[in-house]
Amino acid sequence: MIRFDRVSKTYKNGTAVRGLSLDIDAREFLVLIGPSGSGKSTALSLVNRLIEPSAGVIEIDGENIAHTSPAELRRHIGFVFQGIGLFPHLTVAENLGITPRLLGWERDRIAERAQELLHLVRLAPERYAARYPRELSGGEQQRVGVARALAAEPKILLMDEPFGALDPLVRDELGAEVRSIHERLGLTTVLVTHDMTEGLLLADRIAVMRDGGIVQCGTPAQLMSAPVDAFVREMIETPRRRATRLAEMLSVAP
């Protein structure tokens, strides 16, 4: 569904993505993980042409995206930004209607879609549609962010550290919710995070990035059982240690 073929991106001050090759299957949930500055956001933003590559080709469904206008491309790709990113002066329903309005949908259809989307992310429309972002909790705001990205029924969902600003419980709940929406809608999802536990729990495959390249790409089980090097081993060490400690605690619990 999405193919990176030897893609590089060089900014004035250096190379953020170097020689990245990666194939993401239709309906796959792929997690891009790596330390801050490893090129995750750049790699993700190349897919909907928020950033243009310096070299290499990105294909969606076999088509070089350089030949599709960014506007057309973004109709088929939902994007959830780092942080929250709702428009503060628009209500929830109005935020959800932004893309449909740009696409010229009828007013009734836009209103109907807002209702559907709120149901999808489990926010009761009668309670939430008319509120402003500041009248929502962080978790609720990010549910609206996810709903907004799905407004025009995209096939692809890109998310850049969508749960970063949320407390751990809400984060966990929303992660599971997104995974469930991914299944139900048959999406191809790419999620950027720096939290390996989150990655292991959500992903079909994890691509570990470092210095603009992919160090290892595999299923959570492959990463856990056969990390390619010390860097990947270190990244899975914390989740592994936590899992072991929790298992021990649970085995002695009454």
Taking CA 175 as the corner, what is the angle to CA 5 and CA 34, rounded to the nearest 5 degrees? 40
Q: How far apart are CA 136 and CA 132, in angstroms?
A: 7
Strand ranges (E), 86-237: 156-160, 188-193, 205-210, 213-218
Binding window for ligand ADP (CB under 6 A); candidates: 32-40, 89-97, 104-112, 218-226:
32-40
Binding window for ligand ADP (CB under 6 A); candidates: 29-37, 112-120, 122-130, 133-141:
29-37
- Nearer to ligand ADP by C-beta: 98 or 215? 215
> Least distance to ligand ADP from the beta carbon of 92, Å?
28
- What Rg, from alpha-carbon coordinates, does the chain have? 19
Q: How far apart are CA 117 and CA 64, in angstroms?
A: 31
Residue 49 interacting with ligand ADP (CB under 6 A): no
Q: Which residue has the tokens 């996810």?
A: 146
Residue 52 interacting with ligand ADP (CB under 6 A): no
Residue 11 interacting with ligand ADP (CB under 6 A): yes
- Nearer to ligand ADP by C-beta: 154 or 212? 212
Residue showing the smallest CB distance to Mg ion in the complex: 41
- Nearer to ligand ADP by C-beta: 35 or 168? 35
Residue 113 to residues 119, 148, 166, 172: CA-CA distances in angstroms?
A: 10, 10, 26, 26
Cβ neighbors of 131 (< 8 A, separation 6 or more) are 91, 92
Q: Of 24, 34, 46, 239, which one interacts with ligand ADP (CB under 6 A)?
A: 34
β-bridge mates for residue 2, sequence order: 24, 60
Q: Of 37, 83, 125, 139, which one interacts with ligand ADP (CB under 6 A)?
A: 37
Residue 251 interacting with ligand ADP (CB under 6 A): no
Residue 39 interacting with ligand ADP (CB under 6 A): yes
Binding window for ligand ADP (CB under 6 A); candidates: 9-17, 101-109, 137-145, 229-237:
9-17
Tell me the three state secondary structure of residue 33.
Answer: strand
Residue 40 interacting with ligand ADP (CB under 6 A): yes
Q: How far apart are CA 51 and CA 193, in angstroms?
A: 19
- Nearer to ligand ADP by C-beta: 10 or 68? 10
Residue 15 · residue 9 · CB < 8 Å: yes
> Least distance to ligand ADP from the beta carbon of 31, Å?
13
H helices, E strands: number in the chain: 11, 10
> Least distance to Mg ion from the beta carbon of 91, Å?
29
Q: Of 1, 4, 30, 38, which one interacts with ligand ADP (CB under 6 A)?
A: 38
Which residues here bind ligand ADP, judged by CB under 6 A?
11, 13, 16, 34, 36-42
